[in-house]
Amino acid sequence: MAFTTRKSLLSKIKQGDEISWEEFYASYRPLIMLRAGDLGLKQTEKEDLVQIVMAEFFKGSRDFQYDRSRGRFRDYLKTIINNQAVSILRKRKNLEVGLDDREFILANGLEQAWDDEWQGHLMNMAMDELKNCVEPVTYQAFYLYAMQGQKSGEVAEFLNMSVNSIYVAKNRCLEQLKKIIADVSESD
Amino acid sequence: MRHYTTEELDRYRNGDMNMLIRISCAGHLKQCSTCRNLLETVKQDDQLLEKVRNNLARFKAVSDEIPENKAAHHTS
Ligand SMILES: [Zn+2]
């Protein structure tokens, strides 16, 4: 990414850099939990799924490196999550999952749901990335005004800025955010 | 005749500018398609912002859920 010095997790994965357990956990736990919800897992099963998926990626090592010959990371991640989730569902006493994993996902219309969750994940990472691309006060103005919906006058007073500067900050962040989203979506 | 900036148009549509400038901006918009187009873009950005806001809330809600094993550890 040309606009930031800190590499995003996604670009690290794409470039085959080492990823730490903590980094991976912080970024991917929400996505795995949301996907687990789409697949109908209960709360404890969702957490089990996070642990199993994490174990699959790290396999005893503290760091993990993505092997690009496996294809797109998003597809690889999806396959692991789906397979492990279906396997958890099969373990439930009264549930007969007669279909194979792929058929089960398709039969329940869960392919599109994954695309939506992944887009959400990218957007979330883009917001994270935005923090590294603009001045902290610019981000703060944007966050309070455009994300939390506080009034421009209140944010201006709180940050000791003019009302116009709040709008400038909002639009600067918005333009930057669009670039980041386009960039992560393109390199996805 | 100078065109209005993105920020000015953003303030205009939010009613976040003084009355005189607002009246003059409204008059300008009637005659200027460049500024009308820019105003449309600013309005469209609201959809993206809403998407980002909703998305952030969903991910934040799930991030804030404390894993049960950790929750049990905290309460023991
Ligand atoms: Zn104009």
* Residue A93 burial (CB count, 10 A): 4
A122 within a domain of the structure (yes/no)? no
Residues A12-51 as b/e (b if ≥16 CB within 10 A, e otherwise) read bbbeeeebeeeebeebbbbbbbbbbebbebeeebbbbbbe
Please list all protein residues whose beta carbon sits less than 5 angstroms from ligand 1, which is an ion: B 3, 32, 34-35
Residue of B54, B62, B64, B69 to mutate, interface with A, max A Cβ within 10 Å? B62
Distance CA B54, CA A29 (A): 18
Q: What token pair was written down for A95?
A: 């549930």
pLDDT at A104: 65
Last residue of a domain, one of A68, A95, A110: A110
pLDDT at A132: 86
User: Both A105 and A72 in a single domain?
Assistant: yes
Last residue of a domain, one of A64, A94, A110: A110
Contact (Cβ atoms closer than 8 angstroms) between residue A139 and residue A130 = yes
Under an 8 A CB cutoff, do B68 and A47 touch?
A: yes
| 3-state DSSP assignment of residue A51 | helix
- Chain A CB contacts of B11 under 8 Å are 152, 163-164, 167
Under an 8 A CB cutoff, do A34 and B59 touch?
A: yes
User: Both A138 and A104 in a single domain?
Assistant: no
Contacts 24+ apart (CB under 8 A), A117-120: A117/A31, A117/A34, A117/A35, A117/A38, A118/A31, A118/A74, A118/A78, A118/A188, A119/A185, A120/A31, A120/A34, A120/B55, A120/B58, A120/B59
A106 within a domain of the structure (yes/no)? yes
Residue A93 belongs to domain spanning: 1-110
Asked if A178 reaches chain B (Cβ–Cβ under 8 Å), the answer is yes
Mean pLDDT of chain B: 87
Of residues A27 and A105, more confidently modeled: A27
User: Both A3 and A77 in a single domain?
Assistant: yes
pLDDT in tens, A123-163: 998 998 899 899 999 999 999 999 999 999 999 999 999 99
Mean pLDDT of chain A: 84
Q: Which residue of B has its CA nearest to A151?
A: B16
User: Both A103 and A32 in a single domain?
Assistant: yes
- Chain A CB contacts of B55 under 8 Å are 120, 123-124
User: Both A151 and A83 in a single domain?
Assistant: no
User: Both A76 and A38 in a single domain?
Assistant: yes
| 3-state DSSP assignment of residue A65 | strand
pLDDT in tens, B28-62: 999 999 999 999 999 999 999 999 999 999 998 98
Average of per-residue pLDDT across B4-22 = 94
- Chain A CB contacts of B67 under 8 Å are 47, 50
Distance CA B14, CA B42 (A): 11
- What is the total count of domains within chain A? 2
Vertex A2 angle, CA A171 and A184, to 5°:
70
Task: Identify the CATH number of the domain in which residue A141 sits.
Answer: 1.10.10
A129 within a domain of the structure (yes/no)? no
A80 within a domain of the structure (yes/no)? yes
Contact (Cβ atoms closer than 8 angstroms) between residue B39 and residue B60 = no
Rounded to two decimals, the pTM is 0.81
User: Both A16 and A76 in a single domain?
Assistant: yes
Q: Cα(B9) to centroid of ligand 1, in Å?
A: 10
Sorted by where each begins, the domain ranges of chain B are 6-75
User: Both A105 and A37 in a single domain?
Assistant: yes
Among A51-65, B12-26, B59-73, which range has the highest average pLDDT?
B12-26
pLDDT of residue A48 exceeding 80: yes
Under an 8 A CB cutoff, do B16 and A152 touch?
A: yes
